[in-house]
Amino acid sequence: MRAPAEAYRPHETYVAPARPHSELWRFLLGGILAGFAYLSLSQIYFSTAYALAQPNSAALHRDLVSGATPLTMFLLLFSFGFMAVGVGISARILHKRSFLSLLGPMRVFWRDLRRVLFALLGVALAIVLLPPYDMGGAFVPNLEPRLWLSLLPLSLIAVFVQVSAEEIVFRGYVQQQLAARFKSPLIWMVLPAFLFALGHYLPDMAGENALTIAIWAGIFGILMADLTARSGSLGPAIAVHFFNNVSAILIVALPDNLSGLSLYLAPFSMAEGEALQAWLPVDFATMFVCWLAARVAIRR
């Protein structure tokens, strides 16, 4: 698998901060350190939440397992931020570089983030205007519209934190450090996507759909790695990931056997039953359309 050299030229600038301290032992130790920091900070975070919830900590724990209320969804989504903190610590201590270097050049990052978000607004408009108007499945009420609107600003921030953290870990730290050591996209593009898919393999929650969800995540990861290489920043990947998760978390919530988590921040949810067969073709098509729209938006 050969990278399109001209299209991926910005990737060289993106990877450059990772090259001076790119030894594999630093990368492996960095992953351990980042995981330890993430788990430790999450433990402190949720322990504090349980302490503040007394005497209802047991109910809070039950709701956290399924994301059964807007409050617990916010707690879960914001907790992803500790993933970014973890790799930021590893980048500083083991690779002698700044957290912002994980995002790419700031001018490019914000420019391409903005361009792709505007392009995806056009995609969203097309989705609204063109069939299938129900994504092929029935919708049921999920959250009272007035409450949804009042929560929307904080919901958007929470989803942005979640998707940014995942991109910083997989298309930031992992992709950069691997690309600093290996030229082949089979390594720096596919391996982070595989790890991303593995993190989305949740058989205990998603049941028989777990493998399908993981495959979707793996393909998504490869497409986001491609956008990152073409942009030389995380801007486009964060924008597409944000658009995808806003659609699936804040607009029409997927059943827990499709998402791996019950989601309670959307005014509607897709009905159970034939939801997978209804949702899958539309969602795969939407993923590729968003990727193509992002590629056009960042084309120089």
48-97 pLDDT, tens per residue? Answer: 999 998 888 888 888 787 667 888 889 999 999 999 999 999 999 999 99
- Assessment of whether the complete model's pTM goes beyond 0.95: no
Of 243, 240, 178, 194, give the one whose Cα is nearest residue 14.
Answer: 178
Instruction: State which amino acid sits at residue 20.
Output: P
What is the greatest pairwise CA distance in the chain? Answer: 60
Tokens representing 103? Answer: 């995002």
Share of the chain above pLDDT 70, in %: 87
Determine the length of the chain: 300
pLDDT value at residue 2: 47
- pLDDT, tens digit, 9 for 90 and up, residues 218-241: 999 999 999 999 999 999 999 999
Scored b (16 or more CB within 10 A) or e, 174-198 reads: bbbbbbbeeeebeebbbbbbbbbbe
Q: In this structure, what DSSP letter does residue 254 have? A: P
With a cut of 50, say whether residue 26 has pLDDT above it. Answer: yes
Round to whole Å and give the CA distance between 9 and 184.
14
pLDDT surpassing 90 at residue 283 = no
Instruction: State whether residue 269 is helix, strand or coil.
Output: strand
Output the pLDDT for position 111.
Answer: 97
